[in-house]
């Protein structure tokens, strides 16, 4: 095992120490591993080009696969994106926090470099108390599953440390993650919407939520 700083979250004091350490590391430009409501994630300050580049390198990814951005509040969506259609906001109200990722037009004024995004950003609010606590202190984080490309995503801190312990500063160990299906990804930059990946949220649930808007999503994956 590596000598990375690792924190558990069994008690309130442990959780506070873990969140403080992770947030501090992010502010210093380091990479951290945090739990989410799906699998463990490797996270970096979304506004630090160096940190995001380090995240992609740690994963063994190129700029053609930019990471999504996690946020702590639905209101942050408007700070990062523009032109989000009304029906997509209904999905946010229904399914955030949760396994729904929206690909939106990014705010033109944003100064960041997530990779080759073509003016878009994928945004999600995770349903995990520890992740949200970190995000509340750091602001938006670029987060990808905690694994090396081609290997299974880590569902516990041991697996994350085995793969990424040499490149992250802090690992927050919150036990075994729920795992299961990844988030459903919807491109909302086109008027009719486009499902890029079906995951934990089914088409039936999505369409039931936006029926009043006259939009019908289909699986184009």
Name the average pLDDT for the chain. Answer: 94
Any idea what DSSP says for residue 211?
G
3-state helix, strand, coil in the chain (%, to 5): 35, 20, 45
Q: How far apart are CA 171 and CA 33, in angstroms?
A: 5
pLDDT digit string (tens) for 39-89?
999 999 999 999 999 999 999 988 999 999 999 999 999 999 999 999 999
Question: What are 193's two structure tokens?
Answer: 């919407």
pLDDT digit string (tens) for 34-45?
999 999 999 999
Name every residue whose Cβ is closer than 8 Å to that of residue 119 and which is 6 or more positions away in sequence. Answer: 105, 106
Residue 186's domain comprises 5-213
Residue 82 falls within a domain, yes or no? Answer: yes
Q: How many domains does the chain have?
A: 1
**Smallest Cα–Cα separation from 124: which of 153, 145, 98?**
98
Residue 221 falls within a domain, yes or no? Answer: no
Specify the pTM.
0.95
Residue 81 falls within a domain, yes or no? Answer: yes
CATH code, domain with 168: 3.90.870.10
Q: How far apart are CA 32 and CA 54, in angstroms?
A: 11
pLDDT digit string (tens) for 154-164?
999 999 999 99
Q: Is the CB of residue 206 less than 8 Å from the CB of residue 184?
A: yes
Residue 172 falls within a domain, yes or no? Answer: yes
């Amino acid at each position: 095992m590596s000598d990375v700083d690792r924190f558990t979250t069994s008690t309130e004091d442990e959780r506070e120490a873990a969140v403080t350490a992770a947030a501090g590391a992010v502010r210093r430009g380091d990479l951290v591993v945090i739990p989410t409501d799906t699998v463990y994630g490797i996270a970096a300050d979304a506004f630090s080009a160096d940190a995001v580049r380090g995240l992609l390198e740690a994963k063994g990814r190129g700029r053609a696969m930019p990471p999504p951005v996690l946020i702590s509040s639905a209101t942050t969506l408007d700070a990062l994106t523009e032109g989000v259609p009304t029906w997509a906001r209904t999905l946010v109200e229904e399914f955030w926090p949760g396994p729904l990722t929206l690909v939106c037009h990014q705010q033109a004024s944003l100064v960041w470099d997530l990779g080759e995004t073509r003016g878009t950003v994928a945004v999600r609010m995770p349903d995990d108390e520890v992740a949200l606590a970190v995000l509340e202190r750091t602001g938006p984080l670029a987060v990808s599953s905690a694994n090396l490309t081609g290997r299974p995503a880590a569902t516990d801190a041991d697996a994350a440390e085995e793969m990424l312990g040499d490149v992250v500063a802090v690992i927050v160990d919150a036990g075994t993650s729920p795992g299961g299906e990844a988030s459903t990804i919807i491109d909302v930059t086109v008027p009719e919407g486009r499902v890029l990946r079906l995951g934990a949220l089914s088409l039936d649930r999505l369409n039931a939520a936006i029926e009043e808007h006259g939009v019908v999503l289909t699986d184009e994956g």
